Amino acid sequence: MSAPVGEAPVQRDGSGKPRTGRRVRQVRELGILLALVLLVAVTTLYNPGFLMAQNVRDLLLGATLLTILAVGQSMVLITRNVDLSVGSVLGLSAFAVGVLFVSFPGLPVPLAALAGVLVGTACGLVNGLLVAATRVPALVVTLGTLYIFRGIDHWWASGRQINAADMPPAFLGIGRATVLGLPVPALLALAVVLAAGWCLSSYRSGRELYAVGSDPHAARLAGIPVDRRVFIPFVVNGSLAGLAGVLYAARFGTVDATVGTGLELEVVAAAVVGGVAIFGGSGTVYGAALGALLLTTIGAALPVLRVDAFWQQAIVGLLILVAIGLDRLLALRTARRLRGGGSRGA
């Protein structure tokens, strides 16, 4: 029986189970998890205080923003695109929330938070329209919007800094609140990961993102609306960057025009280290979340181990190269298997 239009036929082994694609992703994610556990174990042996409750909460809070951004970036990367403007979008959204509280002191917290997310959504709409409608490479488009959004932020701020005293305690409390000992922002990040993972795996539109990233031309021939599938991840990514901006303002309480500068490269690194292929078509948001947690843990553990900051950057760079090399190796191996299967069936 042939596969439905828009869905790749699932290759199965002799037992009828899906072949190695899903298994490889699970092994990749398990490897990241094992590396994370090993790093925590070594650091704890060196300094038993590393796993104190407060340190764990700080670690989860530190990973929150990167995790949310990595989820959105993963959806874009899966379609064989990239969004370099996320740091600027986060900064613009965070500053917008601060300005709203200064301009309207009695503004309800949910309304201000919604406004911050909508600012990010608007930025995502701009990116998505430019990439999908003009078909200009996303690298070029988002590099341009990175500077445009940052320039708007600088023009709007005009050197101002908004402090915690300008924001209501109820809003700042979001960054410090806990449920069963877990920070509320971390729980929000977990909800984002689960929701995105469910959408990608359970809905045809989510699965079609992988088809677009694997081969846009073939996806178009199969009847998949490629431009729409490319557009939506940029909008979602912008919304998540707006949410991250809101959580940034709530956690730190101080925002200016420099918030989020340089964050985009760390976000891409987290997704790639987490197994999302830079070439598109493979990876999961769960792996991206693990990648974000691993990078955050590396940043927290190496100073405890008295490792120079230079080596921290070198280790992250090495992880990126290993992840890209492994993706390429798996792609070549899969291509050889498909050619071999085709010749046997001929």
CATH number at residue 200: 1.10.3470
Measured between alpha carbons, how far is residue 151 from residues 88, 131, 158, 181, 325 in Å? 9, 20, 10, 39, 36
Residue 11, CB half-sphere, CA atoms under 13 Å: how many? 10
341 is a domain residue: no
In this predicted model, what pLDDT tens digit does every residue of 183-197 receive, in sequence order? 999 999 999 999 999
Q: What is the DSSP letter of 52?
A: S
The whole-chain average pLDDT of the chain stands at 85
Please report, for residues 15, 18, 336, the alpha-carbon distance to residue 12 in angstroms, rounded to integers and kept in the order given.
8, 4, 17
In this predicted structure, which of 24-33, 40-49, 73-82 has the lowest mean pLDDT? Answer: 24-33
| DSSP classification of residue 305 | T
Kindly state the DSSP code that residue 224 receives in the 8-state scheme. -
Q: Which two tokens stand for residue 242?
A: 């707006």
Whole-prediction pTM: 0.87
Cα separation, 288 vs 271, in Å, equals 4
Q: Is residue 251 part of a domain?
A: yes
Contact 242, 121 (CB under 8 A): yes
Answer with the residue of higher pLDDT: 13 or 308.
308
In this prediction, residue 335 carries a pLDDT of 65
- CA-based nearest residue to 227, from 236, 237, 217: 217
Q: How far apart are CA 291 and CA 313, in angstroms?
A: 15
Q: Is residue 345 part of a domain?
A: no
Distance, CA of 274 to CA of 295 (rounded, Å):
10
pLDDT band at 9 (very low <50, low <70, confident <90, very high): very low
Residue 22 included in any domain: no
**What is d(CA 287, CA 19) in angstroms, rounded to the nearest whole number?**
19
Structure confidence at residue 156 (pLDDT)? 93
Strand partners, 179: 182
Parent domain of 77: 29-333
Q: How many domains does the chain have?
A: 1
- Residue 20 domain-assigned? no
Q: Where is 66: in which H helix or E strand? A: helix 53-78
Assigned domain for 329 exists: yes
Buried b (16+ CB within 10 A) or exposed e, 57-72: bebbbbbbbbbbbbbb
Kindly state whether residue 340 falls inside one of the protein's structural domains. Answer: no
Residue 139 placed within a domain: yes
| Token duo for residue 302 | 């190496």
